[in-house]
Amino acid sequence: MSSSIVLPPGFGYVAAGLVSTAWVLGWQAMIVVGGHRTKSGVKYPQMYAEKAEAEASKAALLFNCAQRAHQNTLEHMPLILVTTLVTAMRYPVFAGYACGLWALSRVLYTLGYTTGDPVKRNTRGGILGELPLFGLLFGATYTAYDLLRSSA
């Protein structure tokens, strides 16, 4: 018995969108968080600077902001991956572009957050990221419905 996976035309856009999220996560972890960890002097395995450290040191505050931006991106990844892949079953180009736009929004979100003013996370990408996120959520929901309807 032989089985194969058939990818829809345009799935390269999905691959590019998903790979862009990997690049963003790598940049956040190694460059942004790692750089701020070094500058702040927060040692492993401590995940964040203590409140007193962050209040006393701008570098520690910036580390916490960088760490939180990265953690928030990680928290969104299961939702992004699932909705991108499900949406891609019927709408691969849309799914790829939406995933890529979300990844770009995370760069802007991170740059805003790491100014030291957490409010800027939303003015520099946070809100922009909600559009592709909800687009993927609705796309995946419709795709799942359509798949169920067509298999009945």
Domains along the sequence of the chain with CATH:
11-146 (1.20.120.550)
8 Å CB contact between 47 and 131: no
8 Å CB contact between 11 and 88: yes
Contacts of 64 (CB under 8 A, 6+ apart): 48, 49, 54
Ramachandran area for residue 118 (φ above 0: left; ψ -120 to 50: alpha; else beta): alpha
* Mean pLDDT for back-to-back runs of 10 residues, the chain (152 residues): 83 98 98 98 95 96 97 97 97 98 95 91 79 97 96 78
pTM of the model: 0.92
Instruction: Determine the pLDDT at residue 124.
Output: 66
- Could you give the dihedral angle defined by the CA atoms of residues 67, 43, 54 and 26, in that order, rounded to the nearest 10 degrees? -20
